[in-house]
A and B are shown apart, each in its own frame.
Chain A
């Protein structure tokens, strides 16, 4: 198994990579070794069943098949900057149909976590804010508070979006489906202790501020 985590000579090695690519690759390969099924991405035969099964591939800039191909080609930063990993709706259709048994959905979670950890996102594209806001709500109350989540998410990303959604909100309100006040669990103190301890096991959280590396990634970065 050690061969897989060795970026320049392992089974999936694309060649010589830029330092940032190599570091990302190492971190990601180490991470997916711990996700059952996801570590099998070297078994991908590029058949495209994932892309054909994906209900949202029409809205992706890279298809799921291309994500795996680009990872193997060493263009990790490119795929972290893609819309694709954020458009995934977690429907698991690709995972269920993959003939090589690769957990593509879990693989994409891995990429999302890495993008958030490293602060690498597509330009003007704040979808990760939704995930982070969701986590904040849960950390604060122990439960998700739908109204608070939606309000915060839109205020942070596109306040005008709230105006466009007011019809939906009003309709749900009129039908008794919005809770204005959040519910906090009783054991919130214990709950936060659990989170604080668990967090220590997750990837290093320091936000690496990176200058643009756009011209040094992908195939261009592979020295022949």
Chain B
């Protein structure tokens, strides 16, 4: 296989609340020999929030990123589910609606840019499974993650409306379960895996978001998970903040905190990255799961 190189679109969250996702993404891609080149001077994708304010502007700012990516030439990797969705929606809407495309084109021309819709925007989970492949990830595995019993949580926007992983059932995806089982972890059965965490409601309707997150957390505990694994910085923060209440419950003699990890953190640990390299210290719940080196099995 030729050298794998991608245009990396981290998105705003990965520079702040989602810093552990950024660290672990870079570490994993590095270990697997896939190069991430950060998109130069990228801007906010607009998230779903900007769509409520101004439609053409929302599309235009998102299209600026696509225009820059088109110049860079490689497939875009967008780890945040909202970025993944919004950039793909822009590609689709501008392809299907000539009038909108014309308006956005006129706006981009102000900055000397052209509408560029030819560059695929992909989620890192799909890139790792398709381009690298489970076999090569396994071949690079140096440490055992058998202690992990993850509840694999996909959330909304990588399964709908644009499924990131072709062929995976959007109502019951199994991509992460397959990957983690192959790595030797023991994913639990987790029925609410595509339910919503509340997203931005955490700011506007906190009591509603909390109810959704509590259900997701309780379900994971009931199924015997010792961590929740997410693919999105907003899902991670929303679920992780539940741990602040968890600690209070613990003080009352109830259950302890439940670590909420990024899928890239577990892969990174399996590939021999240190806890620091994958940013475990940024989680609000301590991870007390051993990651011993694999016993020599003829590999390496």
Q: Which residues of A contact B (CB under 8 A)?
A: 34, 36, 55-56, 58-59, 86-87, 89-93, 95-96, 109, 112-113, 116, 127-128, 130-132, 134-135, 138, 142-147, 149-150, 153, 167-168, 171-172, 175-179, 183, 185-187, 190-191, 193-199, 201-203
Count of A-B residue pairs with CB < 8 Å: 195
Among residues of A, the one whose C-beta sits closest to the C-beta of B111 is: A190
The CA of A10 and the CA of B283, in the complex, are separated in Å by: 55
Q: How far in angstroms is the closest Cβ of chain B from A80?
A: 13
Cβ contacts A to B, 26 pairs, < 8 Å: A36-B97, A56-B212, A59-B211, A86-B204, A90-B156, A91-B156, A93-B156, A95-B161, A96-B170, A112-B51, A116-B52, A130-B203, A138-B46, A143-B12, A143-B15, A144-B44, A172-B17, A177-B19, A179-B16, A183-B15, A190-B110, A197-B110, A198-B57, A198-B59, A201-B107, A202-B54
The CA of A130 and the CA of B205, in the complex, are separated in Å by: 11
How many residues in B have their beta carbons less than 8 Å from beta carbons of A? Answer: 68
Given A87-B205, A171-B284, A198-B104, do A135 and B156 touch, yes or no (CB 8 Å)? no
Which residues of A are found within 8 Å of B100, using beta-carbon distances?
A: 34
Those 4 A-B pairs whose CB atoms lie nearest each other, nearest first:
A190-B111, A91-B196, A198-B60, A198-B107
A201/B282 in contact, CB under 8 A: no
The CA of A201 and the CA of B51, in the complex, are separated in Å by: 14
Among residues of A, the one whose C-beta sits closest to the C-beta of B106 is: A197
B111/A194 in contact, CB under 8 A: yes
Which residues of B are found within 8 Å of A91, using beta-carbon distances?
A: 156-157, 160, 195-196, 199
Which residues of B are found within 8 Å of A167, using beta-carbon distances?
A: 244
Given A55-B195, A193-B111, A199-B54, do A130 and B204 touch, yes or no (CB 8 Å)? yes
Which residues of B are found within 8 Å of A130, using beta-carbon distances?
A: 49, 200, 203-204
The CA of A110 and the CA of B195, in the complex, are separated in Å by: 24
As a 0/1 sequence over residues 33 to 67 of chain B, the CB contacts with chain A under 8 angstroms (1 = contact) are 00000000111101111111111110111001000
Q: Which residues of B contact A (CB under 8 A)?
A: 12-13, 15-19, 41-44, 46-57, 59-61, 64, 93, 96-97, 99-100, 103-104, 106-113, 156-157, 160-161, 170, 194-196, 198-201, 203-205, 208-209, 211-212, 237, 241, 244, 281-284
B107/A197 in contact, CB under 8 A: yes
Q: How far in angstroms is the closest Cβ of chain A from B125?
A: 18
B53/A171 in contact, CB under 8 A: no
Among residues of B, the one whose C-beta sits closest to the C-beta of A205 is: B54
Q: How far in angstroms is the closest Cβ of chain B from A181?
A: 11
Given A130-B204, A134-B50, A142-B43, do A92 and B59 touch, yes or no (CB 8 Å)? no
The CA of A191 and the CA of B44, in the complex, are separated in Å by: 11
Which residues of B are found within 8 Å of A116, using beta-carbon distances?
A: 52-53
The CA of A146 and the CA of B233, in the complex, are separated in Å by: 12
Among residues of A, the one whose C-beta sits closest to the C-beta of B202 is: A168
Among residues of B, the one whose C-beta sits closest to the C-beta of A194 is: B107
Which residues of A are found within 8 Å of B194, using beta-carbon distances?
A: 93
